[in-house]
């Protein structure tokens, strides 16, 4: 019988936390006991889980006593302060923020790609990668295993839910303003804490997260650095341009790759057809290709529009879509714990 776990969910009322709760129920996750934690501001609120009511408790170091697994998605500063405290008290932490991702002692895990690193968790903390990165590496791993991989150039089309519930609400409010011919107000995107805000309804914003000193955004650098870490390929050439689009949920990616050897489109079809967590959706005669409206609420990573580069037999173009709140966040976190259970690591 599967071990039953005591679980703490930190940040249950956010976009990822909500998806986390739905998927814990949907997947029959082996829960002995569950508690919901948040900042003092949200503590005391009632929350529904699996048809039962729970009161959200204030997250303190002592909250994690006797917790087996702590799922964090309450922002980087909360994880920075409390994830080590949870780990110190024996909980395995799966952290959805970027805070620990590049820490050499913190495994950064997409189970389909590198579940073997779960054997060694020096700090008791596992990082869940960036949403755009997860769906891309899940699709690239089976291709890389068979044909090698030397270069990745990705342009993203990222949904607003990646910026949280406030961004979803803003897209909806702006759409109503736009329809009514009113001034469109922007307060959340591209980055709430940055200086300027731009409408996302009827617009495309080429900024996700703040800018770093090298001209790339943090989101772009996450895709570059996390891809190399998860795939354990420091030598892999990765370039990213990250862009926000007026879609609620479901990130799309236009990905150019160069393989280590020549291949055909059929070769890639064959590899992806049987790959874990991947749905090949590539039937252009019937106009079948991945789109956010198909991916929203679905678990898999959808891959299509596979074309060989016309100038390079090792070059291929892919179109990759997945629900950024599910495989990109909540689902991948849960799968990390499930992988540990399967591998008797918990």
- Known binding residues for NADP(+): 13-16, 41-42, 161-162, 324
Query: How far apart are the C-alpha atoms of 9 and 29, rounded to whole Å?
Result: 13
> Can 242 be counted among the known catalytic residues?
no
Angle at 68 between CA 66 and CA 69, to 5 degrees: 130
Longest dimension (CA), the chain: 61
| Inter-residue contact 301 to 323 (CB < 8 Å) | no
What burial class does residue 261 get, using C-beta atoms within 10 Å of its C-beta: 0-12 exposed, 13-18 middle, 19+ buried?
exposed
The residue from 18, 39, 114, 175 that contacts a copy of itself (CB under 8 A) is 175
Which residues from 243-262 bind a copy of itself, rule CB under 8 A?
243, 245-248, 250, 252, 254, 256
| Inter-residue contact 228 to 129 (CB < 8 Å) | no
Total Cβ atoms within 10 A of residue 311? 6
Structure tokens at 303: 């891959």
The residue from 30, 203, 218, 346 that contacts a copy of itself (CB under 8 A) is 203
Which one, of 276, 330, 300, lies nearest residue 131 by Cα? 330
DSSP 116-162: GGGG--TTSEEEPPPHHHHHHHHHHHHHHHHH---EEEEEEEB-GGG
Residue 111 sits in the site that holds a copy of itself (CB under 8 A):
no
The residue from 166, 177, 241, 298 that contacts a copy of itself (CB under 8 A) is 241
Query: How far apart are the C-alpha atoms of 30 and 73, rounded to whole Å?
Result: 20
**Helix, coil or strand: residue 312:** coil
Residue 292 sits in the site that holds a copy of itself (CB under 8 A):
yes
CB of 275 to a copy of itself, least distance (A): 20
Residue 194 sits in the site that holds a copy of itself (CB under 8 A):
yes
Residue 114 sits in the site that holds a copy of itself (CB under 8 A):
no
CB of 127 to a copy of itself, least distance (A): 22
Q: Binding mask 131-170 vs a copy of itself (x if CB under 8 A, - otherwise)? A: --------------------x-x-x-x-------------
Count of all residues that appear for the chain in the document: 346
The residue from 49, 54, 211, 218 that contacts a copy of itself (CB under 8 A) is 211
Query: How far apart are the C-alpha atoms of 54 and 252, rounded to whole Å?
Result: 35
The residue from 77, 312, 313, 342 that contacts a copy of itself (CB under 8 A) is 312
CB of 243 to a copy of itself, least distance (A): 7
Residue 182 sits in the site that holds a copy of itself (CB under 8 A):
no
Active site residue: 23, 99, 131, 242, which one?
Answer: 131
CB of 76 to a copy of itself, least distance (A): 21
**Helix, coil or strand: residue 200:** coil
The residue from 31, 102, 239, 345 that contacts a copy of itself (CB under 8 A) is 239
What burial class does residue 9 get, using C-beta atoms within 10 Å of its C-beta: 0-12 exposed, 13-18 middle, 19+ buried?
buried
Query: How far apart are the C-alpha atoms of 67 and 44, rounded to whole Å?
Result: 20
> Can 23 be counted among the known catalytic residues?
no
User: Which residues carry a binding-site annotation?
Assistant: 13-16, 41-42, 101, 158, 161-162, 244, 324
Q: Which residues bind a copy of itself (CB under 8 A)?
A: 151, 153, 155, 157, 172, 175-176, 178-179, 190, 194-196, 198-199, 202-207, 211, 214-216, 224, 237-239, 241, 243, 245-248, 250, 252, 254, 256, 265, 284-287, 289-293, 304-312, 315, 317, 319, 321
**Which residues participate in catalysis according to the annotation?**
131, 251
């Amino acid at each position: 019988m599967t071990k039953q776990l005591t679980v703490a969910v930190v940040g249950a009322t956010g976009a990822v936390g909500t998806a986390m709760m739905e998927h814990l129920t949907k997947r029959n996750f082996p829960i002995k006991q569950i508690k919901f934690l948040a900042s003092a501001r949200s503590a005391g609120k009632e929350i529904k889980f699996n048809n039962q009511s729970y009161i959200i408790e204030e997250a303190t170091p002592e909250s994690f006593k006797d917790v087996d697994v702590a799922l964090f998605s309450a922002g980087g500063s909360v994880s920075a302060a409390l994830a080590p405290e949870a780990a110190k008290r024996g909980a395995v932490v799966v952290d959805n923020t970027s805070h620990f991702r590049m820490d050499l002692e913190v495994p950064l895990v997409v189970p389909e790609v590198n579940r073997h690193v779960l054997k060694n968790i020096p700090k008791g903390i596992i990082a869940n990668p960036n949403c755009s990165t997860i769906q891309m590496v899940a699709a690239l791993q089976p291709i890389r295993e068979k044909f090698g991989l030397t270069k990745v150039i990705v342009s993203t089309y990222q949904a607003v839910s990646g910026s949280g519930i406030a961004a979803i609400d803003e897209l909806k409010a702006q759409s109503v303003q736009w329809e009514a011919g009113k001034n469109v107000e922007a307060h959340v995107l591209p980055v709430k804490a940055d200086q300027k805000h731009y409408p996302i309804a009827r617009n495309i914003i080429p900024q996700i997260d703040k800018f770093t000193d090298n001209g790339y955004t943090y989101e772009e650098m996450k895709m570059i650095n996390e891809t190399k870490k998860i795939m354990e390929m420091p030598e892999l050439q990765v370039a990213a341009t990250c862009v926000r689009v007026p879609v609620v949920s479901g990130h799309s990616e236009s990905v150019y790759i160069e393989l280590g050897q020549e291949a055909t489109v059929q070769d890639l079809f064959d590899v992806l057809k049987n790959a874990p967590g991947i749905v090949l959706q590539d039937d252009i005669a019937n106009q079948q290709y991945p789109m956010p409206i198909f991916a929203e609420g679905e678990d898999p990573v959808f891959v299509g529009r596979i074309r060989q580069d016309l100038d390079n037999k090792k070059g291929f173009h892919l179109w990759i879509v997945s629900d950024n709140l599910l495989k990109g966040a909540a689902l991948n976190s849960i799968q990390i714990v499930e992988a540990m259970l399967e591998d008797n690591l918990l």
